[in-house]
Structure 1
Amino acid sequence: MELTTVWFLAIAGLWIGYFVLEGFDFGVGTLLRVLGRNEPERRAVITTIGPVWDGNEVWLIVAGGATFAAFPEWYATLFSGFYLPLFAILVSLILRGVALEYRGKRDDLIWRGRMDSMITIGSVLPALLWGLTFANLVRGVPLDASFEYVGSFGDLLSPFALLGAVAFTAVFVTHGAIFLALRTTDDLRARANRLASRAGLVAAVLVIAFLAWAQAIRGDTGSWIVAAVAVVAFAGGLVANRIRREGWAFLGTALAVGLAVASLFAAMFPAVMPSTLDPQSTLTTVDAASTPYTLKVLTVITGISLPLVMLYQGWTYWVFRKRITVEPVAVSEAAS
């Protein structure tokens, strides 16, 4: 197998890891005010992702860095064409990270309410924009013969792209609700379980429509099969959630997210940026790749460092695997 193909698969794997892990904490952040009816409950909701959210974002950093190193032309075209949505994602993630870190620094309900709003916005907006971005990667964008993006922001707002934005968000909300049902207790667990069932039905309709449309645009037999298995896994997760088997439910939605993203990459390959203007302007893995020597060096470095990162993150999840209880706390109405 050529190194360009190996690195395309590696980058696809990094994005799969990112969306499986960051997907549930986007969902948790989105549901912070929905399921958290008071301060103790909101604190419990945040505590479920507190030890892991920043580790989940490492996958995004590595995916971006790997794309820059292995496929610099892809990186350049992507960031020039998707500058506004990617910049908005970056700002949202910064605000979300600040809010998660500083929420508990002041014993003040107004302060914490503002931080909660930042967490919610910083969770909903990236989910929408990642869906918009990946839908456009599958559909294609206007590229000229030099692989330069020649469209406008409005070209990114097609009906298919908007469906992708809503579908990604709905799936993440369901994934996050199931994670909360897995990690919390008592009434909060029961409400998260019920919300996951309701949101999951909406998400199932949206994701079936999106994946079917995506495969109709740029799919083959292999990507169709992967997309179909993703739908089956999602349905299995919803069934497990209905019978209060949250561990199996979370496994189902995690597999569904991973397989759905895999089906999008499989539909694209060997293109990384399809052109809607001229098939000859489509940017492929070969066109976008670095030199063979660079790819060899990257392969050695990644082979050493990536297993260590995965072991550390797996250890973190294992240590913080216990359920979170909701305990009342005294919070002043104003800063002391």
Structure 2
Amino acid sequence: MTPLPTVQRVLVTGGSGFIGRRLVMRLAQRGIEVQVICNPTGSGGRGVTGAMRTHSVDVRDESGLLRVFREVLPDAVVHLATVNSIPICETNRAFALQVNVVGTECVLAAAEAAEVRMAVIASSGAVYRPTERPLIEDESALEAVDNYGLTKLINERQAQFWAERTGGVARVARMYNAIGHDDPKSHLIPDILAQIPDGVRDAVIQLGNTAPRRDYTHADDSASGLEALLFNGDVLAPCEAFNLCTGVEHSVLDVAETIGRHLGVRLNIVHDPTRVRPVDRMHQIGSTEKTRQRLGWEASISFHDGIRLVLEGLGRLPQSQ
């Protein structure tokens, strides 16, 4: 077994995003020098708590990335910049491939030129072949069933090629359905909440598929898992994948009903065929064994507490709670 490279300076792509800004704050609290690459068309990079500096560069901009990497000379890069909206990945397929695949290749090429020794790449539970059983990193079959899963599957091979080519250490974070009060609006919980006006006792909400079950992980836990990938455990292979999940799955209906109970609202759920995904998985639950044994990490926020934290962060909880 080989120890991980010493990491004192980290460059985070997508560091102003939903999970990225949480990771940046955790690393800064740990005493790590953190710099961020953010999308020049976005607005988040100007105020990332904990970031020593932000760089406004598109991940497809090879020369811009090379300039930043050679200036920062990070010990490690955490690559989180991605298009992760399933609808966008399906309706704007070429754009998703350009950002997720070409962008990742540009980031890894810049990391190679700057002699970065470690890369943590964001992947997804969507790379696994659909099954009802818990998904195990080194055993379960891999098979993308949509464009987003395809991009993440390619990213994992890109990370492996980079590690083998450079002698660096690559770790793949197979992340599951992250939730938080600042969740992007294209995801499930914001869609449900947008259909429940403040102060009502009854509400009609429209949903597509309500049976699919997912492993919902709070974004704070996702960030702490990424931190563990940077610092915990020994190196057993040039590139390894780790699930960052809870090991418990809940259906879309469970999500809606849990929100309703916390809000004290009776929900009348109406099926909307226009919201049904043409391709969907009935189950997606990750095994936590490898991450727990190798990294000493496990999620600390339960599904019900996670939903409560979302509502609390949005100021939606009734005063009695």
- Asked if these proteins are the same fold (TM beyond 0.5), I'd say no
More helix by share: 1
Q: What TM-score, normalized by structure 2, do the two folds share?
A: 0.26
TM-score, normalising length: structure 1 = 0.26
More strand by share: 2
Larger radius of gyration: 1
